[in-house]
Amino acid sequence: MAGEVVFIVEKTFGVTEAVQAPQIPQQRGETLLDSAVRYAEERHWDVFPGTWLEAAEGRERCSCGADDCALPGAHAVRPDWSTLATGSGAGARRMWSKHPGAAILLPTGRSFDAIEVPESAGFLALARMERMELGLGPVTRSPDRRMYFFVLPGAAAKVPDLVRGLGWVPASLDLTTRGEGHYVAAPPTRVGGRGAVQWAHRPTPANRWLPDAEELISALAYACGREAAETRSRTR
């Protein structure tokens, strides 16, 4: 809801404090075509169309035709998807004109990598980053309650060592990085039956220059470590 303030309770060294979580901006009523063109022209991000949602027997179904599709309407159409990606606004307009409902997918490992964490940990990290006045790049929130922090390319190769350097075992944290050979879905892509991808932190002229993974990893690892510890305590 507009104007709603969400608080996350954070416990540090036994002290409980309430921190205000960054609100998710409302999405403008842009079409997928308009958004894809804008990403290519304004952010110089490569984009490519994914699958789309179709009406079938009174329900929405992924254009891939699989009844058990894990990401209906929001995944690549074919294995060689990377060859479809374009940084041209005209190219994006041409592709989405053919399938106006196609997902907007952004290849990682090119203009940016993406650090993926659970939504709850992501909001906690965002709150800490704002208090620390860290420079943030765009951050998306997916309907399956995951968040993706855009950082400079190359993060996928060094994040595991950065996490170890902070004293964490990478495998113990629900924190992964998407780099070359992967992609993320961009707003306002809809995932069938779940909702739409949204911006938790919008692209703006101020965050055109992305942060390095090293600048954000401490807050992200801490938040994921907190979530892992709370999960363990609940299952005991």
CB-based contact 127:219 (threshold 8 Å): no
8-state DSSP, 3: T
pLDDT over threshold 80, residue 36: yes
Query: What are the angstrom distances between the C-alpha of 169 and each of 4, 115, 160, 173, 235?
Result: 36, 16, 8, 7, 20
| CA atoms of 124 and 31, how far apart (whole Å) | 31
C-alpha distances (whole Å) from 133 to each of 75, 76, 125, 130 are: 34, 36, 12, 5
- The DSSP annotation for 157-212 comes to HHHHHHHHHTT--GGGSS-EEE-TT-EEE-TT-EETTTEE-EEEE---GGGSSPPP
More confident residue, 28 or 65: 65
93 band by pLDDT with thresholds 50, 70 and 90: very high
The pLDDT of residue 113: 98
Alpha helices in the chain (DSSP H): 32-38, 89-98, 119-131, 155-165, 213-234
pTM, rounded to two decimals: 0.85
Q: Are residues 60 and 70 in contact, defined by beta-carbon separation less than 8 angstroms?
A: no
Average pLDDT of every residue of the chain: 87
Place of tokens 């110089």: 44
100-113 pLDDT, tens digit per residue, is 999 999 999 999 99
